[in-house]
Amino acid sequence: MTTFIYKALDSNGKKLKSTINADSTKQATSLLRDKGLIPIDVKIYYASDKNFLGNLFSTNNHLKLKDLSAISRQLAVLIKARVPLTDVLATLIEQLDKAAHKEILTNIRNLVLEGQSLAHAMGNYPKSFPKIYVATIASGEKSGNLGEVLTKLADFTEAEYYNRQKTQQALIYPAIMTIFSIAIVSFLLVYVVPKLVAVFKQTNQILPLATRILLQLSYYLQHFGLYFLLLLLLGLIIFRKMLQKDSFRYSYHTFLLKIPALKLVLRISNIASFSRAFSIMVAASVPVVEAMVSANKLLTLLPISRALQLAVEQVRSGRALSLALKESAQFDPIAISLIAAGESSGELANMLERAANNEERNLNLFLDKALRLFEPILIMTMGLVVLFIVLAILLPIFSLDQLAG
How does pLDDT run across 161-212, given as a tens digit for each residue?
A: 877 777 677 677 777 888 888 888 888 788 877 777 666 666 666 777 888 8
- What is the reported pLDDT for 3? 67
Q: For residue 314, what pLDDT is reported?
A: 92
Say whether both 372 and 240 belong to one domain.
Answer: yes
- Domain tally for the chain? 2
Residue 91: inside a domain: no
Query: Is 164 in the same domain as 31?
Result: no
Residue type, 251: S
Cβ atoms < 10 Å from Cβ of 157: 21
Determine the pLDDT at residue 192: 77
pLDDT at 233: 92
Intervals of the chain under pLDDT 70: 1-3, 44-61, 167, 170, 197-205, 399-405
Identity of the amino acid at 129: F
CA distance 263 to 252: 12
pLDDT of residue 129: 86
Q: Are residues 302 and 178 in the same domain?
A: yes
Q: Is 338 contained in some domain?
A: yes
Asked whether residue 278 is assigned to any structural domain, the reply reads: yes
State how far the alpha carbon of 304 is from the alpha carbons of 9, 241, 254, 329, in Å. Answer: 53, 22, 9, 9
List pLDDT tens digits, range 130-172: 877 887 888 788 777 788 888 888 887 887 787 777 767 767 7
Specify the pTM: 0.66
189 part of a folded domain: yes
Residue 104 and residue 37 in contact, taking contact as beta carbons nearer than 8 Å: no
125 within domain boundaries: no
Do 334 and 189 reside in the same domain of the chain?
yes
Determine, yes or no, domain membership for 87.
no
pLDDT of residue 48: 44
Quick one: pLDDT at residue 1? 56
Q: Residue 9 belongs to what H/E stretch?
A: strand 2-9
CATH of residue 212: 1.20.81.30
Residues written for the chain: 405
Check whether residue 203 and residue 329 sit in a common domain.
Answer: yes
Q: What is the dihedral of CA 44, 47, 48, 53, to 10 degrees?
A: 130
In a domain, 390, yes or no: yes
Q: Is 280 exposed, middle or buried (0-12, 13-18, 19+ CB in 10 A)?
A: buried
Whether the CB-CB separation of 102 and 67 falls below 8 Å is answered with no
| Same domain (yes/no): 272, 396 | yes
pLDDT at 151: 85
Taking the CA atoms of 163, 307, 339 and 366 in sequence, report the sign of the dihedral they define: negative
**Residue span of the structural domain in which 18 resides:** 2-45
Domain assignment present for 394: yes
For the purposes of burial, counting CB atoms within 10 Å of the CB of 178, is it exposed (0-12), middle (13-18) or buried (19 or more)? middle
How distant, in Å, are the alpha carbons of 42, 100, 115, 171, 198 from that of 112? Answer: 17, 19, 5, 42, 76
